[in-house]
Amino acid sequence: MLTDKKIVIGVTACSPGYKVPDIIKKLRALNAEVSVIMTENSTNFVTPLSLQHSSGNPVEIDAYKKPIIWEKDHISLSRAADLLLIAPASANILGKAANGIADDLLSTTIMSTRGPKVVATHINPNMYASPAVQRNIKLLKEDGFVFVDNKNEKRPSLFPEIDLIIETVLQTLNVNK
């Protein structure tokens, strides 16, 4: 299904971070190769070691830290990615992406990835309703970002079920399950 597909998952500081190992396991069960980039604050919600164990690859956090595996430059993951999945995605990372801010490894990877980008948000409903966040989401959709619909009309900002995320990844890559 996802054989020969490389999925890069960007993890931000949101409480559903603990669900990312399950997302990785489902993607790997579909034969995807998975790499993970975490924001520094996301390490408060899920450990890099658990994501490294789930993905089978080193987890990247700091663009300027000596890498475990040496790469020529800090955008090699973005070049190799068939799809970038940002899950969970905070209001902060949406603001950075919508406004061209690249000040950490994940935001730099978002800016440099040319393939499809799928976003699974987890944002406080009051923050989500703010004009700034709504404007950022609108801009990102116009730029081609695909947002996972959590099927919850009353609380659309909350993290979707894992199966909805996987389904959206497959649809975005035009792969049948």
pLDDT in tens, 87-135: 999 999 999 999 999 999 999 999 999 999 999 999 999 999 999 999 9
Instruction: Determine the pLDDT at residue 62.
Output: 79
Least confident of 34-43, 54-63, 81-90: 54-63
Q: What is the rounded CA–CA span in Å between residue 99 and residue 112?
A: 14
Q: Considering the domain 6-172 in this protein, what is its CATH number?
A: 3.40.50.1950
> How would residue 66 be classed by pLDDT, with cut points 50, 70 and 90?
low
Domain positions in the chain are: 6-172
pLDDT of residue 73: 45
Residue 22 pLDDT level (bands cut at 50, 70, 90): very high
Mean pLDDT taken over the chain: 92
Question: How many residues in the chain?
Answer: 177
Query: Tens of pLDDT along 166-177?
Result: 999 999 999 876
